[in-house]
Amino acid sequence: MTATFIGVRHHSPACARLVADTIIALRPAYVLVEGPADMNPRIGELLLGHDLPIAVYTGYRDAERRHGSWAPLCDYSPEWTALTAGRDAGAQLRFIDLPAWHPALAEVRNRYADAEARYAEVTERLCAAFAVDNADALWDHLFEIEPADGLAERLAAYFDLVRGDARPAADDVAREAYMAHWIRAAVADAGDRPVVVVTGGFHRPALVRLAEEGDRSWPELPEPPGGAVVGSYLVPYSFRRLDAFDGYQSGMPSPAYYQHLWESGPREAARRLTEAVTTRLRARRQQVSTADLIAAGATAEGLAAVRGHVCPARADVLDGLASALVSEALETPLPWATGGRIRPGGHPVIVEMVAALSGDRVGRLHPSTPLPPLVHAVADRLRAMGLDGSGEIRLDLRKDADLERSRLLHRLRVLAIPGVVRDSGPHPAGDPVPAEQWTLTDSDDRMPALIEAGGYGVDPGEAAAALLAERVSGPPADLDVLAGLLFDAALCGVGELTGRVLDDLARAVRAAADLGSLGRTLNVVLAMWRHDGLFHTGGGPAFGTLIAAAVDRALWLAEGVRGGPAPADPRRIEAMAAVRDALTHAATPLGLDVAAALGVADRVAAFSDAPPDLRGAAFGLGWSLRGTAAADPGRAVRGTFTPALAGDWLAGLFALAREEVLHTPGMLELLDELVEAMTDDDFLIALPALRQAFAYFPPRERHLIAARLVALRAGGASGPDLMRLDATPELVAAGMTLDERVDTVLRREGLITS
C-alpha cells in the first residue's frame, strides 16, 4: 500500500476538513505530519485537551546564533485535525520535519507560513487570470468557499502548478529530503496498511517523487551541536499573534473569520463577521444604521454572484461592508485588497473591520501540561542573584554583578511580570545615571503572568527579546515609542534586537516630520552611542548610520520650518542642541558632514521667514561649531532686538552657544545696552521671553552674569546690596509710575527730548 499525500495550506479550514475525512475513511497505520520531529516523544502533551490556539515554541541558543520559532495550531489547522483524527482512528502519529533549531529553518519564525509565498510569480499570474486582488482572495475563491467535492484533486492541481518549475531553495530541499525519508520508512513499516502524509502543499510534489526510492530505515533525529541550548515546549497562543506575522512569515490572515468558517460554514461566518464589525463600530459610537447593513448584505451577495461564489466569501463581505459604511474618500487602499500590514492613516471603520477579522481568542494550556521553562528559569535566576522575596534594591550599574541583576529585572519589567517596579535609574531623556532603585513585591499574580510570557521564550532574555521584537514589528509606531523600545532593549541587554529596532528607527527617522521628537530620538541614540560602557550596546555601525540619518533629517526639517515670529519651542531648540552634540562628539568617527551642516545653519540664521528661536539656535550652532561666529554677533543681536523677538531669538542662541556668548568680550555689555534702551512697555513685552532665554544658563553662570553687570553699572557695590530695598514693592511701583508720568509730561511739553 502506498502513501496518500495531502498537500495543505496551513490554517485552512477546507484542508483541515479534507484531512479529517481522509483519515476517517482510510483508517491509516501512520499519520505523518509536517512538524518538528523532536516533539514526537511528546505528542501526548499536545493531545491533553487544550483550548486552542496553542503553539509549539522552540528556542535555540549557541555561541553565534539565537533563534526562536513557533508552530501555531488552531482548531482548523490541518495539522491539528490530522493529529486528533489520527488518534481517534488509532493511527501512529509522527512529526516528520526537521526540528525548528535546524539550520535549514534558521530564517523561519512561523513554521506554518506559506512556503509558496516565496515563489510568488505563479500566484501573480493566477490572480490575474481569475481577476482577483491577491493570493488570499484567490485561495478563498478556489477552495474555502467552493463545495468540498473534488477538493483533493483541485488542491493537487493548484500546488503542482504553484510548485511548477520553481527551483526550491537549499533549505526547502533539505527539509523535503528529511520528510521523504520518514515517509519511506513509515510506508515500509505499515506493510499493506495505508499511510496519510499531511504537509504544506508546496512540498507535496517533491515528496511524492522523493518517497519512491531511497533508504527505508527510520531516520535519525538530528542532534543539536554541542554547547547549544535547545528547548521545545507548548505555549498558549492567541489569534492576535497568529495574525501578526508579516511578510513571508504570514500565513492565512483573519483567524477569527476562519474559526467561524470551520465551526459553522461560510454563510454563518459571513453573518458573524458582519455582526462583529457592527458591534465593534457601535461600541465606538460609530453610526451603523439598519439601512447600511441591508446595503452591505445586498452588496456582498451581489459581489458573491459576480465572482461566482455560492455564498459571500471573506472579501465579498468586507467589500460589501466597506462600500456601505465608508462614506468618504479613503487615505490608503483597503488592506485586504493589497495584503500585508495595515498601514498608518487607515480609515477607522476599516481598522475596526480588520480587528474584527483577527479576533481576540486566546488559547489556554491544560493544567497538567508541563510548565514552560521560563517559569523555572526566572525562579532560578532570581534566587541565584538574591532577588527573590520583597524589598527595595539599589544597584550600581558600574559593577558587573549589579548590571546583570539590573538586566534581569528589566527583562521581567518588559515582560510585564507583576511586582517588579523601577523607581529611578537611567532615562531616555535625561543624563545617564549609573544607579538604579527597584522595589520588588512577591505576589501570586506572578505565576500566571510568567506562564503567559512563556510563549515568548525559554529564558527571560530570550522572552524579552521576542516581546520587544513583536512590539517593533507591530503597528507602525512613532519615534518616541521606538526610541523607548531601543532604550528598553539596551537596558535588557538584548544585543541583536537593537539591530532591528535601529533599522525601524532609521526608517522612521528618515520619514520624521516633527523636529522635537526627532531631537529626542537623536539624544537617546547619541547617549547610547557615547555611553557604551553603561549600556553595552556594542556601539555598532548601525548606531552611527542612525545618528548620521537623524542629523541629516533634523537639518532638513529645520530648514523647512517657516512662518515667521512664533513663541520659542523648547523641543525644537533641544533638537538643534542634539544636532550640535552629535556634530561635536561624533563628526569625526562617523564622518558627518560638518560643512553641509554649517551651510544649513547659516542659511536658517539668515532666513527672515524662520521662527526667531530657530534662527537664534542656527546662529548658535554655527558659532559653537566654528568657535567663531560666521557673522558679527553684535550685528546679529542688534538685528533681532525687537521686543517681540529678542527673547525667543536669544533662547535659541543661549541654548546652543552660551559659552561663546559668555566668553566674547562686549556681548554682555551689548545686551545690557539694548535692554537699557527699551522703554518700560517694551521691556514688559520682552520680559517673559528674556527670562526663558536666560534660563538656559545654569545658576552659576547666571550669578557670573549678574556679578559682571553689577560691576559694570554700580561700581564697587556688591550684588546683594543692590537686591536689598527697604521700601515695599507697592511703594516702589507707585514711585516708578509717577516718574514715568512726569517724564511723559515733560516730553509732551518739549522740555526733554529723549
The site for other proteins (CB under 8 A) is made up of: 131-133, 137, 291, 295, 298-299, 302-303, 305-308, 315, 319, 322-324, 326-330, 333-334, 337-338, 507, 510-513, 553, 556, 559-560
Q: How far is the CB of 292 from other proteins (least distance, A)?
A: 8
Dist CA 144 CA 139 (whole Å): 7
Closer by beta carbon to other proteins, 559 or else 672: 559
| Shortest distance in whole angstroms from residue 162 CB to other proteins | 20
Q: Which residue do the cell numbers 530657530 mark?
A: 614
CB of 255 to other proteins, least distance (A): 22
Supply the minimum distance, in Å, between the C-beta of residue 141 and other proteins: 11
- Bridge partners of 424, per DSSP, are 437
Which set of grid coordinates corresponds to residue 679? 522703554
Quote the least distance from Cβ 507 to other proteins, whole Å: 5
CB closer to other proteins out of 344 and 688: 344
Q: Which residues pair with 68 in a beta bridge?
A: 59
Decide whether 305 or 717 has the Cβ nearer to other proteins. 305
* Shortest distance, position 337 Cβ to other proteins, whole Å: 5
Beta-carbon count within 10 A of 197 CB: 29
Nearer to other proteins, 35 or 519 (CB): 519
5 φ, ψ (degrees, to nearest 5): -100, 125
Name the minimum Å distance from CB 603 to other proteins. 11
- Would you say 328 or 730 has its CB closer to other proteins? 328
Cα angle 386, 390, 391 (rounded to 5 degrees) comes to: 90
Q: Which residue has the cell 521686543?
A: 643
Do 522 and 547 contact (CB within 8 A), yes or no?
A: yes
| Nearest residue (CB) to other proteins, 310 versus 644 | 310
Please say which residue, 195 or 315, places its beta carbon nearer to other proteins. Answer: 315
* 115 CB-near residues (< 8 Å, 6+ apart): 172, 200, 202, 203
Please tell me what DSSP assigns to residue 53. Answer: P
Alpha helices in 415-514 (DSSP H): 446-453, 460-473, 479-491, 495-510
Of 601 and 653, the one with the shorter C-beta distance to other proteins is: 601
- Give strand pairing partners of 5: 197
> Smallest gap, in angstroms, from Cβ of residue 26 to other proteins?
39
Choice between 294 and 371, CB closer to other proteins: 294
Nearer to other proteins, 39 or 354 (CB): 354
CA distance 712 to 720: 15
Cα–Cα distances (Å) from 395 to 9, 118, 527, in that order, read 52, 48, 20
d(CA 598, CA 586): 15
CB of 403 to other proteins, least distance (A): 36
* Burial grade of 129 (CB within 10 A; 0-12, 13-18, 19 or more): exposed
CA pair distance 215, 301, nearest whole angstrom: 54
CB 629 within 8 A of CB 660: yes
Q: How far is the CB of 290 from other proteins (least distance, A)?
A: 12
Q: Residue 232 is inside which H or E element, if any?
A: strand 229-236
